Amino acid sequence: MLSRRFLMGTTVAAMIASLALPAAALDRRVRIVNNTGFTMVRFYGSNKGSDSWEEDILGNDVLPSGSSVMIDFDDASGYCKFDFKAVFEDGEELVKNNVNICQISTFTYN
């Protein structure tokens, strides 16, 4: 039987190792939730190193209010900070800068 001290030491070591992971190994999947009352017709997520919005991630799809979509932002750049832009059916655009996708798993538009 393993000692309690060994198990605690192993747990602490595993926690420290997980904190020391390079940014490239971090999970970059984020659930985008639309709770605005309007359908999201376009969504962009560009890393901080980019000077454009790139392509519309929703493509031909839309995201109705009350719905969500899981997006994998891993673009092989190693960036954790992204700018988000959502465009809604009424033409309103909401931009959020410097979202740390390595630290969150859900981003909600209200």
Q: Is residue 5 predicted with pLDDT exceeding 90?
A: no
User: What length is written for the chain?
Assistant: 110
Amino acid symbol at 63? L
Reported as a single tens digit per residue, the pLDDT across 54-102 is 899 999 999 999 999 999 999 888 899 999 999 999 999 999 999 999 9
Q: What angle do CA 25, 23, 69 make, to 5 degrees?
A: 70
- Structural domains of the chain, ranges and CATH numbers in brackets: 24-109 (2.60.40.2890)
Reported as a single tens digit per residue, the pLDDT across 24-56 is 557 899 999 999 999 999 999 999 989 999 899
Q: Is residue 20 predicted with pLDDT exceeding 50?
A: no
User: For residue 71, what are the contacts with CB-CB under 8 A and spacing of at least 6?
Assistant: 29, 30, 31, 32, 43, 45, 57
Tell me how far apart the alpha carbons of residues 53 and 89 are, in angstroms, rounded to a whole number: 19
